[in-house]
Amino acid sequence: MATLCRPAVAVPEHVITMEETLELARDIHKDHPQLQLALRLIRNTGVAKRHILQPIEETLRHPGLDQRNAMYEAAAKERVPAVIREALQHAELEPADIDVIIYVSCTGFMMPSLTAWLINEMGFRTDTRQVPIAQLGCAAGGAAVNRAHDFCMAYPGANALIVACEFCSLCYQPTDLNVGNLLSNGLFGDGLAAAVVRGEGGTGIKLERNGSHLVPHTEDWIAYDVRATGFHFKLDKRVPGTMEPLAPALKDLAGLHGWDAADLDFYIIHAGGPRILDDLSKYLGVPPEAFRFSRATLTEYGNIASAVVLDALRRLFDEGSTEHAARGLMAGFGPGITAEIALGRWSSAPTAPGPVAVAGSADQTRAARRK
């Protein structure tokens, strides 16, 4: 059974606090007719600080889409390898042991995907599958876990690498003054994460079931308006209320597995904002403390898009109190409105000492290459 191992997470070195964000908004948008509303919404996010790729003075400038995308590519190539190496170390694997790389990002564009560059530069095999996911936004972290699980079920013994790379600050649009965009300027941060799903062995969450759910006719609630200046984030005011229709989907998936979603041992939830977590606590019937890992990510890093669920999972590992066979739920939410949901049990079993050949599996190929 596939095991989601300890993630590696990194954030850029530049920091902007909540108070600095509010002061900038007051200064830059002092004549905005809805400034007080925007300030209140930003303050209510609960974000204490965020990490951003560039100093704030450079972040506030818009040099053009071409330069921003070049900056995205350069930063990804500079920073992603380190989180991959750490994630592989956590899983006790080497690049040659990986059979598929699932790369998720919604804040820059490359073709070929960064996966091709990683295979060439980091020693992954040339037959490593590539699965870049670019249009699921914040839900992509959960989707990556689920697609890795699917792959490991389809190819017993295979290993999957998940990479999330989000530089949300490169999407700042100085001329976009709608309230939803102003809110996003105070909510989103930059972050990178990687994690391995081992087909055999490993310590972490043994994945048992996954599912997806789309709330009908909500595809324009979270969206990008693509213009000459790049990605303009669109956020409908109805988004904070989406947990009411999504909570039943989480309950239903748990029910299919014979579990009660209100009575699990841990929860790894995408922290889109405090209202999301508060409402999910209410509609699932779990105490607010159950989402402490997600709240910590939101407070310390802001919404780091697809990387949120991996950072929240990293905090579960850091806490170190999860008992063997504890049952848990992971969920990422994003454009669609889409939910990607996973169920699994904590496994503290030691990592398997080496590859175990399974007829027709990817392990046979790896074992042959090592001889």
Active-site annotation holder among 5, 106, 138, 165: 138
- Given a contact cutoff of 8 angstroms between Cβ atoms, the answer to whether 340 and 331 are in contact is yes
Q: Give one DSSP letter per residue of 288-334, joined into a string.
A: GGGGHHHHHHHHHH-B-GGGHHHHHHHHHHHH--PPTT-EEEEEEEE
- Check if the beta carbon of residue 134 is closer than 8 Å to that of residue 106: yes
At residue 167, what are phi and psi to the nearest 5 degrees? -115, 75
The values of phi and psi at residue 299, to 5°, are: -65, -45
Active site residue 168: no
**What is the C-alpha separation between 83 and 191, in angstroms, rounded?**
11
**DSSP H helical segments within 188-290, as ranges?**
243-256, 274-284
- Report CA 281 to chain centroid distance, whole Å: 20
- The C-alpha angle 207, 108, 338, rounded to 5 degrees, equals 40
Catalytic residue positions? 138
